[in-house]
Structure 1
Amino acid sequence: MDDPRILLTNDDGIDAAGLLALKRGLADVGSVTAVAPQTNMSGTGRALSLGRSRALSGELSIDVHEGDNGFSFDVPYTDHDNGYAVDGTPCDCVVGGHALDPAPDLVVSGCNPGANTGQYTVSRSGTVSAAMEGALLGTPSVAISMDTLGSRGDLTVDDFDRASRLTTTLVERAIDHQVFSGVDFLNVSIPDPDEPVRGVAVTRPDTRYGLEAVEGGESSFRIRAAKPDETGEEVDSRAVPTDRAALAQNFVAVSPFHLPTEPTRTEAVETVARELSAEFGRTQAVDPTPGSRGE
């Protein structure tokens, strides 16, 4: 793939330092167009905006236009020095970015400040969800995050320099070795820039749940996320480690994903379906006569 067209997005906003760092680095690989939310949309997962806006009263409204062939909604955007600033979610950006002419060859999402490790983050993270949306649209995609939780204050473009260089090289090698002929998207988490990189590990998402709720203020509760920690699982070439274990030991964690999710059919599910069909299924033929209720 010579001079690939790269759609760059994120969930932190069009002005985020991580996006600017990747835009600078990926320019050495192909032509880059940034289509990103105009404000921070972290944690939105695969949500679509559905025309959400706040009316003059301050009440949230959803402006969806229904038609014979489905529904539609408008997603405003403005030209920006860094690309296109979209008044919507990361997935809005990816869907809208595929309207570019020509369409993108690759989607890169990031670089997110904070690791996106663990099975529970895959569909919640706006960064990872943007890559998943690209894959569902048939475009190879990469999500890039960097473990910075609690390590520093405001991040600058220079703080993402190593992440940018690693992403650029990863994209080049993935194209050269035709990685995306068998993989739909990659979720990549990189150690803190103050930590050394011991290597790159192919990983699987940790299955532990990483959130907990505790008492907050009056009539509220606080949700806390755990930092990736040491699990005691040694990272080596003999087994596929979890992403959290790899990152805790200063490895770059690369989790490959293939879509779609395989449905799981079991005898118990089949039994419930048969019982519901017997109870709720229509046992009489439907009269096709106009106006008939089929009874």
Structure 2
Amino acid sequence: MPLIMLTNDDGVNAPGLLALAEALGVLGRVVIVAPDRDNSAASHSLTMRRPLHVKEIAVDTYAIDGTPADCVMIGVNKVLPSRPDLVVSGINPGPNLGDDINYSGTVSAAREGTLLAIPSFAVSLVAANGEECRYPVAAAQARILATEVLERGLPANTLFNVNVPNRPAAEILGRRYTRQGRRLYDNAIQETFDPWGRRHYWIGGGTPHWSEEPDTDVQTVLVGYVSITPLHLDMTNHWALRELQND
């Protein structure tokens, strides 16, 4: 029976994580090791200036007072009874497209699994703020992909970043393998003042600008397909390296 580790960046009680656990439970033993609170936009940070605590809150469900990457590192090496066959992170209640990948705790948890040489992927639901999330739809897509990965594995040093349109299952047009696009924001820093007139800044919101190329993760999801982007651990720009070496 495969051993599947689940995590996220939204916290151990997040509905997306619970939907994922229910969907993947038919494939093997599922063990949840997730942050005890919201860690959105934590990226690949590790907690190194204080000890971390693990709390078993239910059978095969553990909460850690750390980041998503902490959860994978400690879960794989200290919590799980053996090395997992698969690490899945999600379901994030919002997109992780384009430049969001750099900040995402959801994606970074899957990256940590890949660093540990475990097949891993991250799942996000492309829902707008305030929109009802169709978690069962994304969980069903994750189950299909998990079945394939358990059977075939993944390319070396590669994780999948999966984004599912927030549509009814019948309106999902299929799946496409895509490249990372760009998703930039205007006015993403909000300036506010407290009652004493002191200036503060709040990062978040803003107006997004999307990649328009049809083969990107962004445009693929917008037209109704599930986007699966293979991400490589080697971030070297090999084309630029060759050009620089030939100068």
Query: Deviation at 1:267?
Result: 7.8
Task: Tell me, yes or no, if structure 1 residue 88 matches structure 2 residue 63.
Answer: no
- Check the 8 A contact 2:32/2:62 in 1, yes or no: yes
- The residue type paired with residue 174 of structure 2 is G
Give the whole-Å Cα distance in 2 for the aligned partners of 1:96 and 1:211: 37
1:74-118 per-position Cα deviation (integer Å, ceiling 9, x unaligned) = 210111126001000000000011122311111100000001000
CA gap 1:164/1:171 in 2 versus in 1, 3 angstroms: same
Match of 1:138 in 2: 117
CA gap 1:6/1:247 in 2 versus in 1, 3 angstroms: same
1:136-192 per-position Cα deviation (integer Å, ceiling 9, x unaligned) = 111110100001122426x5xxx311111111111112333x241456210000001
Match of 1:78 in 2: 55
- The residue type paired with residue 89 of structure 2 is S
- Give RMSD over aligned pairs: 2.5
Per the alignment, in what secondary structure is the counterpart of residue 44 of structure 1?
A: coil
Match of 2:24 in 1: 26
- Check the 8 A contact 1:135/1:141 in 2, yes or no: yes
Give the whole-Å Cα distance in 2 for the aligned partners of 1:152 and 1:270: 51
Q: Which aligned pairs between 1:217-256 and structure 2 lie closer than 5 A?
A: 217-218=192-193, 219-223=199-203, 224-226=205-207, 231=212, 233-234=213-214, 241-256=215-230
Give the whole-Å Cα distance in 2 for the aligned partners of 1:246 and 1:263: 24
1:171-225 per-position Cα deviation (integer Å, ceiling 9, x unaligned) = 112333x241456210000001358211211111113434643442121334325
Give the whole-Å Cα distance in 2 for the aligned partners of 1:83 and 1:163: 21
Per the alignment, in what secondary structure is the counterpart of residue 209 of structure 1?
A: strand
TM-score of the superposition, structure 2-length normalised? 0.85
Q: Which aligned pairs between 1:87-236 and structure 2 lie closer than 5 A?
A: 87-99=65-77, 100-118=80-98, 120-152=99-131, 159-176=134-151, 178-182=152-156, 184-194=158-168, 196-210=171-185, 212-218=187-193, 219-223=199-203, 224-226=205-207, 231=212, 233-234=213-214
Give the whole-Å Cα distance in 2 for the aligned partners of 1:42 and 1:112: 9
Give the whole-Å Cα distance in 1 for the aligned partners of 2:73 and 2:92: 20
Structure 2: tracts of 5 or more residues without a match = 194-198
- Check the 8 A contact 1:160/1:193 in 2, yes or no: no
Query: Deviation at 1:262?
Result: 2.5
TM-score of the superposition, structure 1-length normalised? 0.72
Structure 1: tracts of 5 or more residues without a match = 51-61, 64-73, 235-240, 272-295
CA gap 1:87/1:229 in 2 versus in 1, 3 angstroms: same
- Check the 8 A contact 1:127/1:143 in 2, yes or no: yes
- Check the 8 A contact 1:149/1:227 in 2, yes or no: no
CA gap 1:211/1:102 in 2 versus in 1, 3 angstroms: farther
Per the alignment, in what secondary structure is the counterpart of residue 122 of structure 1?
A: helix
Query: Deviation at 1:230?
Result: 8.1
Give the whole-Å Cα distance in 2 for the aligned partners of 1:228 and 1:215: 18
CA gap 1:191/1:263 in 2 versus in 1, 3 angstroms: closer
Match of 2:233 in 1: 259
